[in-house]
Amino acid sequence: MAVRWDPGLEPAPVPIGPAGWLRAALRGSALVAVTFGGLGLLLALRLVERPLWGAHRPWTPHITQAVCRLAFVILGIRRKVRGRQMRQHGAVVSNHASWLDIFALNAGMRVYFVSKSEVASWPAIGWLARATGTVFINRRASEALRQRQAFARRLRAGHKLLFFPEGTSTDGLRILPFKSTLFAAFFEDGLREETWIQPVTVIYRAPPGADPRFYGWWGEMAFGPHLLQVLAAPRQGTAEIVCHAPLRVADFPDRKALARACEQAVRAGFPPELERAGEALSQPMAEISAPRA
């Protein structure tokens, strides 16, 4: 029987007591202060950086990294990094499990995210995304050429773009098949020979005794309640970033072959015990949804 992941399955919320509300208030206040204080500093510095360097950002990414690292200290989540960010020009691809990915990947790497265009209009998150240099894309086929041109401009400016080829976030217990669409941009003339792609695996381990999907954020889950659960947790887990060997675009015949190689590398870094936990949670759904004899 084939096991399919149903994004409708969500962990039950954990009741929050008085101590949990206090933790949430203290952590939340500190997180807001650090995040928006850093944003203000970044925007002020960008007023000087932009006239001098244009698309290049030699200073402001350090502020983004510092804020994201402090966020993990505030939340109490242990952060680990294995491997190093590549030095070659190109992009980074990763599995996608949570809104925490933005903090985890920015904390360990100097990258610029690629996001769907709708995010630009989201309150607070949209402002942060625009200020930190996010590339917004529209997935319509008619926009494909414009997207490739935008990618090319940013790559030639020395930016390392980061996108999630799964196309959606998961519960953190599985890797979904990679979509190859965005990989096409790297096969443009003048980019193919000089561009590298670095696969990265993001791994979350839940706090002791918590649901293994504790940090996963997917489907129709609301952001506010999920954030509140993380802020209120008495104990936290870990977030680990595994940087794999970069792949040279010119070594692959097409976007589909490159996407498969990146997916294989990301899967190779994912812990088998988390996959088994995901299979165990998915199995009851598969049995319920299976057609009756």
Condensed to tens digits (0 to 9), the pLDDT of residues 94-111 reads 999 999 999 999 998 999
Q: How far apart are CA 7 and CA 27, in angstroms?
A: 29
In a domain, 165, yes or no: yes
Residue 240's closest CA among 271, 277, 214, 262? 271
pLDDT, tens only, 232-254: 999 999 999 999 999 999 999 99
Task: Give the residue carrying structure tokens 């759904």.
Answer: 285
Look at the chain and report how many structural domains it folds into. 1
In a domain, 146, yes or no: yes
- Quick check: 288 pLDDT over 70? no
In a domain, 222, yes or no: yes
In a domain, 148, yes or no: yes
In a domain, 54, yes or no: no
How high is the pLDDT of residue 175?
95
pLDDT, tens only, 65-97: 999 999 999 999 999 999 999 999 899 999 999
- Per the CB < 8 A criterion, the answer to whether 238 and 78 are in contact is yes
In a domain, 139, yes or no: yes
In a domain, 64, yes or no: no
- Residues 6 or more apart whose Cβ sits within 8 Å of residue 265: 199, 201, 244, 245, 247
Q: Report if pTM > 0.85.
A: yes
- Per the CB < 8 A criterion, the answer to whether 183 and 113 are in contact is no
Amino acid at 42: L
Q: Which helix (H) or strand (E) holds 136?
A: strand 135-137
Average of per-residue pLDDT values in the chain: 88
pLDDT category of residue 284 using cuts at 50, 70 and 90: very low
In the numeric block, which tokens belong to residue 96?
Answer: 């996608």
Q: Which domain holds residue 104?
A: 77-278
- Residues 6 or more apart whose Cβ sits within 8 Å of residue 102: 68, 113
